[in-house]
Structure 1
Amino acid sequence: MSQEAGSSRAHFKFWPTHVPTEIAPPETSLWYNLEVSAHRYAEKAAVRYFGNAMTFREIAAQATALAGWLQKKAGVKKGDRVLLYMQNCPQFIVSYYAILRADAVVVPVNPMNRSEEFKHYVTDAQARVAICTADLAVGVEQAVSELASAERLQHLLVTQYADALPPTHEHPEDAPPAWLTTPHPLPVGATAWVEALGAGLQPGPHTAGPDDMAVMPYTSGTTGFPKGCIHTHRSVMHNAVGGGTWSGSGAESVILSVLPLFHVTGMQYGMNGPIYSGATVVMLPRWDREVAGRLISRYQVTHWTNISTMVIDFMASPNLAQFDLSSLRYIGGGGAAMPQAVAERLKTRFGLCYVEGYGLTETMAPTHINPIENSKLQCLGIPIFNTDARVIDPDTLEDLPPNVVGEIIIAGPQVFMGYWHNPDETRRAFINIDGKMFFRTGDLAKVDDDGYFFLMDRLKRMINASGYKVWPAEIENLLYKHPAVAEACVIGSSDSYRGESVKAIIVLRADARGRISSQEIIEWAKNNMAAYKYPRIVEFVEALPKSSTGKVLWRKLQEDEDARCEARGAEATDS
């Protein structure tokens, strides 16, 4: 067992019987995974995308040709960072593995980023080559034009989404939306995707090994500018292999890939894991519950990793009864806790247990996951293979006993090497305990007597109401029990008497809008929560702001509230 003194071992009695307690991932590069699958399953569909099926052989052949272009036309050398900027599409996978084949480093960029944000990735990663879709090329061109000449991209490869779409569709109702088929002009000097592939250039020998840099995803940037997380082939490989091992995914599996591939969870479960195992990916560029339901039914999807907001939306579809979900063997995800009521409906109606997990960009997806046979709701789960996770006092750095809230720290093969060109942040992110380096997550959790981890909140996301500590995630989970609440986010609101009061920002269910008041929610909460916990303020909104990966942007809501409170205070002073 990899867990050592100081970490809980109680969870091993709940370990799935069919899963080993440790894994030994291959000591090879990620590219080799595609090469192996292209030999083993040459004519098997690797990706299904709006009626188009690309085989493993085709994916590998295109990635090899593109690697040749990167090296011989774009001058990409080993260790160079190459930006990858697009929505989910087969070209993302081809580009990702082409960059790896060229011994370079993939820098995935959120396609929702605007030109001003994109500039940071160019300059911080010191990238000279980018691959993007044509709809984003204008923003890239604008960003590059505003940079000093020494910082600018030297090569831009552009693909149209239609480059991977079939000319006709067997099922007309699944024809791609117009935004995928609309052509966009290429910037002056950019190279077209079909031109790069058509050149048929062969790359040099592949030399990257397990400890070379492979992928550098950026953190969300909730504090300051986004930071690049250095991941090697080894750290990415661990969870690419481990995810399938835990969920029972293999070459016979069919994976619904709808989480964005630029994000580590989508990257691992919707691309790297299936390529390693030889599974087929059914891909969607954006979430659409009706299309997802039809795809699960038609292709007999077996595994679906998502975020809870997708499942909440899916379960609300008026066509839910028409979808055949009998093939699903595994459904789960992270990012936000699954409301108990939704999980219970999923179990009652379809016999599916929602498997929650936990991970970060710095850990290339999961460090914790629930055992399928012994899942606990609204729980991060237990530490996965070869992972030592503990809860410590964030001030004294001492290990804490069960059921006491502290900071999660993690040591394991999936942990990143540090922040790109940011030694100070890297130093602050790690702590040495008994000669082992642990990553400080900044997340507050407690471990129960069974060794399961429960997230309480971010280290800095705590409300101090009259000296009582209130954890917003706990209040949100309680609010979900109200039949009128569809979504909720809890923040602190300045209070001259109590210091802070709890404020709930709520999206009501459609049938409750106009029929229930904020005061009724407050009274319900008062009757269901401790006196210091219940929200004193309730605000109804049409929708909560979310990131591209579906996480509620609570910091934005908190900042907006702080600004309003400050303005009110200024007005009171002036009067």
Structure 2
Amino acid sequence: MQHAHTGGPPNTLAPRDTSLWFNLEVSAQRFAQKTAIAFFGHALTFQALHAQATALAGWLQQAAGVKKGDRVLLYMQNCPQFIAACYAILRADAVVVPVNPMNKAEEFRHYVVDSGARVAICSADIAGACVCPDLPSGDGLTHVLVTQYNDALPTGGTDAPPAWLTVTHPLPQGAGLTVTHWADALAARYEPAPHTAGPDDMAVLPYTSGTTGFPKGCIHTHRSVMHNTVGSSIWSDCRAESVVLSVLPLFHVSGMQHGMHAPIYSGATIVMLPRWDRQRAAQLIARFGITHWMGNPTMVIDFLASPDVDTLDLSSLRHIGGGGAAMPEAVAQRLKARLGLNYLEGYGLSETMAATHNNPAGAPRQQCLGLPTFNTAARIVDPETLAALPANTVGEIIVAGPQVFQGYWRQPEATRAAFVELDGLRFFRTGDLGRMDETGYYFMTDRLKRMINASGFKVWPAEVENLLYQHPDVHEACVIGTRDPYRGESVKAVVVLKADAQGKTSAEDIIQWARQNMAAYKCPRVVAFADALPKSSAGKVLWRELQDRENAPAAAIAMPPPNAP
């Protein structure tokens, strides 16, 4: 069946009954000497990537004692080692637990304890966070595999990588912690046991935060990840002849799907850029003939401001898309005028392993979530009664499909609250408010959940508050969103200082402390002091009241004066 709007991709996909590892195995045989990953002058073939992942899987099983279903933390920025490690974990029948490399030690601890992981694969620059000596007995890591980013750089290469990639960092040391260097694990050439993971075994456990403030693991099977891997390849027409710019963070489900799993499934070449750099991105597009780029609106805004956009040949680009925030219409028009391409927006969550909705290339809408993707049912319902709502009526977006997660790791109550059964389908309650128009396109209008969207990064206020409460001078804190012309939203903290800190601790002191103790995108950009926080009769902080006050000035400016024409 074809989408009525486009005559394009079918509405349904046949299920795949293999593990994700099988995708690399097939591409390594089909395209053995083809470049799988290009990274600052280093070309890693599919055959070589397969060999690395196989050897590391052997190390995981034989040296680190990883068994089927064990969780393994993957903690590094975008680099070839991330992909090799991810597929090694899958080859070992274990579960990939991707961790944001911006997380500090205190944040990392939660992943260790909650996932029950005993093994981590990480980069040397952040490996110190893996040493957690004061965890409860029985918790904590026993083995850490550490790579230097320069392990993936060619000797005497002509491409000058950023300086931070070339630095060699000392390996961590900790009591009871066995630390192994990447090169040594590869050189050991351990042979893994036969691969036994099937489509319904757990494959990936990405963490998402909630209003409780503590990240929750989303249980995804090989089948749920595979569905969107195949679906995104078809929807974006990614094939073996494609060249994909992988710049979205691979620890995030969108980057993982579009920058790793889909191109490996398709046999496409991945050109990696560890951190966003508009000049390098433009140069890579021209040099490698990049065809596919998934990036957030903030990247596109920055990209179009680069002088290289007008001097380099970018005609190879065929697909630009992303999500995380609405693309401003003026920027979308500039992109269309310069490159002749529409920015194709989509919508998804960690719980759905990226997309549940996408805009079709043949009939896209701007500032729109798009149409439900393959095998996906979506509805707009009343958040209280769960009754279906008519077109153009705002309600909660709920989704059902093969890409929807199984539930939250070790959180049965949260899992029960996240799902509702309607007409025999198990729908996930996204917590996002939106509407559907008469033609079936979905639009976001607001968030039911309490969340700040900073350049596509989801910031959960309660998590930031929990960290701020560790500051010795903070008595109370409430985190809200504040408008930001570049990032869309930024984090603002309303803080009540302890009595002996009032008049001594400055807003900048709080901000600097936050930068040392939490990921940069979570850090408050603005700190305001208050004598007290507004509270309900039950003592609950009325964060919505503070948020409404923050939004009020902008809303007042936007409203026309009385009796205006």
Matches within 5 A, 1:195-344: 195-221=184-210, 223-344=212-333
Structure 1 residues 153, 452: CA separation in 2 closer, same or farther (over 3 Å shift)? same
Could you tell me how far 1:259 is from its partner in structure 2?
Answer: 0.3
| Farther-moved stretch of structure 1 (394-403 vs 212-221) | 212-221
With normalisation by structure 1, the TM-score equals 0.79
Q: Which residue of 2 aligns with 1:527?
A: none
- Equivalent in 128, 142, 145 of residue 138 of structure 1: 128
- Equivalent in 166, 185, 202 of residue 170 of structure 2: 185
SS in 2 for 1:229: strand
Could you tell me how far 1:506 is from its partner in structure 2?
Answer: 3.9
C-alpha separation in 1, matches of 2:530 and 2:360: 44
Matched-pair contact (CA < 8 Å) for 2:128–2:172: yes
Matches within 5 A, 1:5-404: 12-14=3-5, 16-141=6-131, 144-171=132-159, 175-188=160-173, 189-221=178-210, 223-404=212-393
Q: Which amino acid aligns with 2:77?
A: Q
- Equivalent in 413, 417, 420 of residue 424 of structure 1: 413
Q: Which residue of 2 aligns with 1:516?
A: none
Matched-pair contact (CA < 8 Å) for 1:335–1:551: no
Q: Paired residues, what number?
A: 481
C-alpha separation in 2, matches of 1:551 and 1:403: 37
C-alpha separation in 2, matches of 1:53 and 1:243: 25
C-alpha separation in 2, matches of 1:365 and 1:565: 42
Q: Which residue of 2 aligns with 1:482?
A: none
Matched-pair contact (CA < 8 Å) for 1:25–1:241: no
SS in 2 for 1:431: strand
Matched-pair contact (CA < 8 Å) for 2:3–2:9: no
Could you tell me how far 1:221 is from its partner in structure 2?
Answer: 4.7
C-alpha separation in 2, matches of 1:293 and 1:198: 36
Structure 1 residues 187, 346: CA separation in 2 closer, same or farther (over 3 Å shift)? same
SS in 2 for 1:67: helix
With normalisation by structure 2, the TM-score equals 0.81
In the alignment, structure 1 segments of 5+ residues that lack a partner are 2-10, 463-471, 477-488, 492-501, 510-544, 570-575
SS in 2 for 1:359: strand
C-alpha separation in 2, matches of 1:318 and 1:74: 49
Structure 1 residues 552, 449: CA separation in 2 closer, same or farther (over 3 Å shift)? farther
Backbone CA RMSD of aligned residues:
2.8
In the alignment, structure 2 segments of 5+ residues that lack a partner are 462-479, 488-513, 536-565
Q: Which residue of 1 aligns with 2:499?
A: none
Q: Which residue of 1 aligns with 2:555?
A: none
Q: Which residue of 2 aligns with 1:495?
A: none
C-alpha separation in 2, matches of 1:460 and 1:41: 44
Could you tell me how far 1:92 is from its partner in structure 2?
Answer: 0.3
Q: Which residue of 2 aligns with 1:5?
A: none
Could you tell me how far 1:79 is from its partner in structure 2?
Answer: 0.2
Give the ranges of 4+ consecutive aligned residues of structure 1 lying more than 6 Å apart after TM superposition.
550-553
C-alpha separation in 2, matches of 1:219 and 1:568: 28
Matched-pair contact (CA < 8 Å) for 1:63–1:94: yes
SS in 2 for 1:60: helix
C-alpha separation in 2, matches of 1:431 and 1:346: 40
Could you tell me how far 1:195 is from its partner in structure 2?
Answer: 0.6
The C-alpha deviation readout for 1:289-334, integer Å capped at 9, x for no partner, is 0000000000000000110100001011133212221000000100
Structure 1 residues 556, 402: CA separation in 2 closer, same or farther (over 3 Å shift)? farther
Matched-pair contact (CA < 8 Å) for 2:8–2:362: no
Matched-pair contact (CA < 8 Å) for 2:3–2:10: no
Matched-pair contact (CA < 8 Å) for 1:336–1:551: no
